[in-house]
Structure formats: C-alpha cells, structure tokens
Structure 1
Amino acid sequence: MEKVRSLAREFKVHLPWHQARILFLSQFILSLLRGRSPNLYRVAEEFQSKAETESCYRRIKRFFAGYTYCYEQLGKLILHWLELDRYTLCMDRTNWQYGSQHINYLVVSVAWQGASIPVAWICLTKNGGNSNAKERIAIMEKVLRLIPAEKIYSLLADREFIGHEWFEWLDKQGILCRLRIRDNIPVSGRDGRDIPASHLFRHIKLNQTVTWHSKRKVSGVALYIAARRSTKGLLIVVATRNPESMITDYYRRWAIETLFGCLKSRGFDLESTHMSDPERMDKLMGILALAFAWCLIVGHWRYGEAEMLPLNKHGRPAKSLFRLGLDLLRRVLKNTCSNNDQISFLGY
C-alpha cells in the first residue's frame, strides 16, 4: 500500500477529489500497470487489497457507473508534469469494435519524446465514422481552456480533418496548424479558377519540397500550401500561418499513431476493456492518459531523450520511451527489481 499512498500524495496536490477517490485512482493505475489491461476484472485481480476480487470488481464498476470527475483537471495535471513553454498538438481518431458496438475516439494530444499524451478526448457516438467540424471545434474548445492559442506551436492532423467551417474556425482563433489535404481538393490557381491541389505540384521531383509563400484558397479559406514528393507519394499540407517549416512540422503527427499503438497492442490493450458506454469510456481514457504520461515521463527520466535511444537495423529503437518506462514501473511494482530501481518509482 505504500506505493499507492506515494502516488496518491502526488495526485492530492493537483486533484480536488475526496481522499477515497484519490486512493482509488492510485490503486487503479497501479493495477492497470501490473496487469497491462484496462479490462475491469483483470484490474480488480491486481488490486492490492484484503478484499476479495469480486468485491474490488464491484467497487470499480461503481466508480465508472456513478462517479463524475472533471477531465480538465487531468489535462492540467498532465501539462504540469510536462512543463513545456509551447505545445505541438496532434488530432486524430481511433476506433475498434466490441461485438456489434463501435468504439470511436476523437483525441487531441501533446507531442513529446516521440509519442503524444492525451489532454482532451471525446468518445463519439457514431459507428466508426469520421468526425465533423462541430465535434472538432468542441474538442479544441476544451484544449483552449488548458492551453492558450499563443502557446500552441502547431496543430497537426491528417486528411480527415478538413473543410471550410473547420479551416475558418482555426484561422479566427489564431491557431497555427499544419493539416494534410487530399490530392484532389480544389485549390485556387493563378487565374482564380479551382484546380486539384496535386496540379500545383505536378512538376516537383522525388524528395523535393515546394512551399507556396502566397496564400491559396482551400475550401474557401485562404491558406498557405506546401508539398513533398517521396516514394510513398505526394504529401500536401496547408497552414494558417508560418509556412516555412510546414512539411517538417507535419511529420511529427506520427506521434499520435505511436500513442494509439501504445494504448492498444503495444501497451495497455485498450480493446480488451469490454466497455462501450461513451461516458464510462471517457472516464477510462482519462485514467489511461495519466498512466501513459507517467510511463513516458519515467522512461525519459531514466533513459534520456527519445532521439538518443540506440537504433536497431530497421532504424527504430527496440523499445520506445513509453515501453521502457512501463517495463521499469512494472518491475518496481512486482518487486523483482534492484534496490536502485525502487528510487525511480515516481520518476520525477
């Protein structure tokens, strides 16, 4: 229980919750790390308690069924842990299916150390379909309550996140963004007529980057546009401002794909949760965001910068900082580590 109390003391400083809820949150996260699964029964099996597993399981279900907390508080705690001056944000969706039920998440995360940490999320009530402008605006309004627009270095998103209403809202809010668009999206040409975006860059060569420093209208909104041709095809990116590093910045979007991989098969096995109610799933995502952030921070504290990790022959590290941090914490929790590792329990 000492480890539970150690984590609870950190949470108590930042979360205005009742002490019993703080202890429950700490117990749940530690059990999640030990079992590497958010399946509620498997979490209950890992609870460090004198109570029977069934009793712990009922307690967990009561928390998800009846307790409501402010997700903004968790976002503030994560940002406090990171202590960044400016933030690169990634927006994307992930979905999976449990029986006939589709689980569909829209997530905004902070890119850091080769991965990204969720700070806002919405479990969409649609069967795997794309998000719309209203849903994107709603989640970004949550983000702006945590991070002022002037502290957002850039917002990165893939081809799903386009459209006049969305582009116009980002521009009005002063949010600097780098958003990929499809090759066939109409863009205003030199004569003012619309042409497919790919026609602007039909002459660029392999591994060449071209940036237009005068704005073009895309979906009726004036934006900068740039492209790079690689062996994978033509990448076209639009931006509200600061066009110089558009393509380089956009490549950091992959950090959110790393996040989703770690939440699923490479880390917490999110798809094994067996929950499908949107409100309960939002509560679970908040707890997973804290656990993920903690693992990544511990990995960084122990092993240094992500870009300095030794690479395998395929050009990638054998393990990410998240996985290194997760493995270290699990060794501590399972009492199979050296005495020196015990010091790294909180990692900050």
Structure 2
Amino acid sequence: MKEVSSLAAELKAHLPWHQARIIFLAQFMLSLLRARSTNLYRVAENFQSTALTESSYRRIKRFFWGYEVCLKQIGKLILHWLGLERYTLCMDRTNWKYGGKDINYLVVSVAWQGVSIPIAWVCLTKGGGNSSTQERIDLMKKVIALIPAEKIDNLLADREFIGREWFEWLEQNHLLFRLRIREDFSIDGRNGKKLRAGQLFRHLKYGQSEVWMTKRRVSDVLLYIAARRSPKGLLIVVGTKNPETMIDDYSQRWSIETLFGCLKKRGFEIESTHMTEPEKMDKLMAILALTFLWCMVAGHWKYGEADQLPLNKHYRPQNSLFRLGLDLLRRVLVNSCRRSDETSFSDLLYVLSRT
C-alpha cells in the first residue's frame, strides 16, 4: 500500500477531490500498469487491497457508474506533469467496436517525443462517422480553456478536418494550423482555374516537396499550400495560414496515431473494456491519459530523447519511450526493482512531481 499512498499524495496536490476518490484513482492507475488491460475485472485482480477481487470490482463499478470527474482538472494535471512552454496539438479520431456498439472518440493531444499526450476528448454519439465542425469547435474551446492560444504553435489534423467554417473559426481564434487536404479537393491553380490537389502536384517525384508562397483559395478561404510525395508515393497536401516549415511540422501529426496504438493493442488494450456509455468512457480515458503520460515521462527520464534511442535494422527504435517507461514501471511494481536498474518507485514518482 506504500505505492498507493505515495501516488495518492502526488495526485492530491493537484486534484481537489475527496481523499477516498484520490486513493481509488491511485489504485486504479497502478493496477492498470500491472494488468496492461482496461478490462475492469483484470484491473480489480491487481488492486493493492486486502479486499476480495469481487469487492474491488464492485468498487470500480461504483466509481464509473456513480461519480463525476472534472476533465478540466485532469487536463490541467496532465499539462503540469508534461511541463512544456509551447505546444503542438494534434486532432484525430479513433474508433472500435464492442459487440454491435461503435465507440468513436475525437481527441486533441500534445505532440511530445514522437508520440502525443491526450488533453481533451469527446465520445461522439454517432457510430464510426466523421466529426462535425461544431463538435471540433466545442472540443477546441475546452483546449483553449487549458492552453492560451498564444502558446499553441500549430494544430495538426488529417483530411477529415477541413471546411470553410472550421478554417474561419481557427483564424478568428488566432490558431495556426497545418491541415491536410484531400487529393480530390479543389484548389485555385496558378492561372486561377480550379483543379484537384492531386492534379496540381502530380509532377512531384518520390521525396520531392513544393511550397506555394502565394495564397490559394480552398473552401472559400485563402491558404498557403505545400505538398510532398513520400518515398512510398503518398501525396501529402497541406493548407495553412503560415507557410514556413509547414510540411515538416505536419509530419508530427503521426504522433497521435502512435498514441492510439499505445492505448490499444500495443499498450492498455482499451478495446477490452466492456463499457460503452460516453460518461463512463470519458472517466476511463482520463485515467488512461494520466497513466500513459507517466509511462512516457518515466521512459524519457531513464532513457533520454526519443530520437536518440537505439535503432533496429529497419532504422526504427527498438522500443518506444512509452514501452520502455511502461516496462520500467511494471518491473518496479510487479517484480520489485532489479539491482541493475537501481530505480525505485520513489524515483519514478519524483519524475512527475519535479516537472
């Protein structure tokens, strides 16, 4: 129980919750690390408690079924632990099915060390469909309540997140963006004739880029345009209000795809939960965000920068910072500390509090 009380003390310093809820949150986070699954019964089996597993399971159900969680408070704690001065944001959706039920999440995250950390999210009521402009705006309002617009360097998003009303709202709120444009999207060419984006840049060879330093009209909004054809032949067309380094900046958008992979099969198996109601899933996402960030911060503290990790024969990191941090935390929690590590639970907790 020492680990629970220590983590609870760190959480209590930032969350104005009742002590019983703080203790529960600490227990759930530590159990989530041990179980590596969001299946609530498996989490209950790993609770550090003298109670029976069935009792812990009922306690978990009471939390998700009966208590409210302020997601703004969770977002502030995530930003405190992250400890950044400037922010690059990524927006994307992830979805999965449980039985015949679609769970469809719109997420905004902060890009950091090759991955991104979720800070705001909403469970869309529709099935696996795209988000609406109003849903994106409502979510970004929550983000701006956490991070002032002047501290946001870029908002990165894929081809789904386009449209005149959306572009105009971002501009009105002084948010710089790098948004990918579909290849079939109409853009004013150099002679003023409307052409599809794919046609305008079909001359690009593998690895080539092109930036237009004069604005073109896209969805009735004037934007700078840039394009790059990847080594595998994928054409990426980006629209933005600020042309400098737009293609290189946009490449960080992949970090949110990495996040979703870590929340799913490569990490905490979010699909294994049997919950589908948005209110319950929002609480689970909050706990996952805190635990995921702890893994990342621990990995960064122990192993350094993500771009300095050893590479395999395919020139990719042998292990991500998330996986290294997760394994380190689980090793300390499950198997105690290896002598070769010389790492204690207090060390891993300190990396949060000192940020």
TM-score by length of 1: 0.97
Partner of 1:267: 267
Partner of 2:236: 235
Q: Is the 8 A contact 2:183 2:197 kept in 1?
A: yes
List runs of 5+ in structure 1 lacking aligned partners.
Answer: none
Q: Is the 8 A contact 1:109 1:119 kept in 2?
A: yes
Partner of 2:55: 55
Partner of 1:164: 164
Deviates more, 1:230-239 or 1:30-39: 230-239
Q: How does 1:169-318 map to 2 (within 5 A)?
A: 169-230=169-230, 231-241=232-242, 243-318=243-318
Deviates more, 1:155-164 or 1:193-202: 193-202
The total of aligned residue pairs comes to 347
For residues 74-126 of structure 1, the C-alpha deviation after alignment (integer angstroms, 9 at most, x for no partner) is 11111111111110111110000000000101000001011110000001111
Deviates more, 1:223-232 or 1:57-66: 223-232
Q: How does 1:10-89 map to 2 (within 5 A)?
A: 10-89=10-89
Counterparts of 1:70 and 1:79, CA distance in 2: 15
One-letter code aligned to 2:122: I
- SS of structure 2 residue aligned to 1:14: coil
Give every structure 1 segment of 4 or more consecutive aligned residues whose post-TM-superposition deviation is greater than 6 Å.
none
Deviates more, 1:319-328 or 1:224-233: 224-233
One-letter code aligned to 1:250: Y
Partner of 1:9: 9
For residues 16-50 of structure 1, the C-alpha deviation after alignment (integer angstroms, 9 at most, x for no partner) is 10111100000000000000011111111111111
Q: Report the alpha carbon displacement of residue 196 of structure 1 after superposing the two structures with TM.
A: 1.1
One-letter code aligned to 1:341: T
For residues 224-247 of structure 1, the C-alpha deviation after alignment (integer angstroms, 9 at most, x for no partner) is 110012233211001122x01010
| Identical positions, percent | 67
Counterparts of 1:341 and 1:54, CA distance in 2: 33
- SS of structure 1 residue aligned to 2:144: helix
Q: Is the 8 A contact 1:164 1:219 kept in 2?
A: yes
1:341 to 343, 346, 352: 343
Counterparts of 1:77 and 1:282, CA distance in 2: 16
Q: Is the 8 A contact 2:14 2:77 kept in 1?
A: yes
Q: How does 1:143-158 map to 2 (within 5 A)?
A: 143-158=143-158
Partner of 1:131: 131
Q: Report the alpha carbon displacement of residue 191 of structure 1 after superposing the two structures with TM.
A: 4.1
Counterparts of 2:306 and 2:204, CA distance in 1: 33
Deviates more, 1:190-199 or 1:52-61: 190-199
Q: Is the 8 A contact 1:175 1:240 kept in 2?
A: no
Deviates more, 1:188-197 or 1:102-111: 188-197
For residues 235-279 of structure 1, the C-alpha deviation after alignment (integer angstroms, 9 at most, x for no partner) is 1001122x0101000011110011001000111011001110011
Deviates more, 1:166-175 or 1:301-310: 166-175
Q: Is the 8 A contact 2:224 2:239 kept in 1?
A: yes
For residues 127-147 of structure 1, the C-alpha deviation after alignment (integer angstroms, 9 at most, x for no partner) is 111111011111111100011
Deviates more, 1:65-74 or 1:189-198: 189-198
Q: Is the 8 A contact 1:297 1:347 kept in 2?
A: no
Q: Report the alpha carbon displacement of residue 203 of structure 1 after superposing the two structures with TM.
A: 2.9
For residues 135-189 of structure 1, the C-alpha deviation after alignment (integer angstroms, 9 at most, x for no partner) is 1111111100011111111111111111111111111111111011111101123
One-letter code aligned to 2:111: A
- SS of structure 1 residue aligned to 2:262: helix
CA RMSD of aligned residues (A): 1.1
Q: Is the 8 A contact 2:156 2:177 kept in 1?
A: yes
Q: Is the 8 A contact 1:302 1:347 kept in 2?
A: no
Q: Is the 8 A contact 2:206 2:233 kept in 1?
A: no
Q: Is the 8 A contact 1:87 1:151 kept in 2?
A: yes
Q: Is the 8 A contact 1:155 1:177 kept in 2?
A: yes
- SS of structure 1 residue aligned to 2:57: helix
Q: Report the alpha carbon displacement of residue 347 of structure 1 after superposing the two structures with TM.
A: 4.7
One-letter code aligned to 1:238: G
Q: Report the alpha carbon displacement of residue 223 of structure 1 after superposing the two structures with TM.
A: 0.9
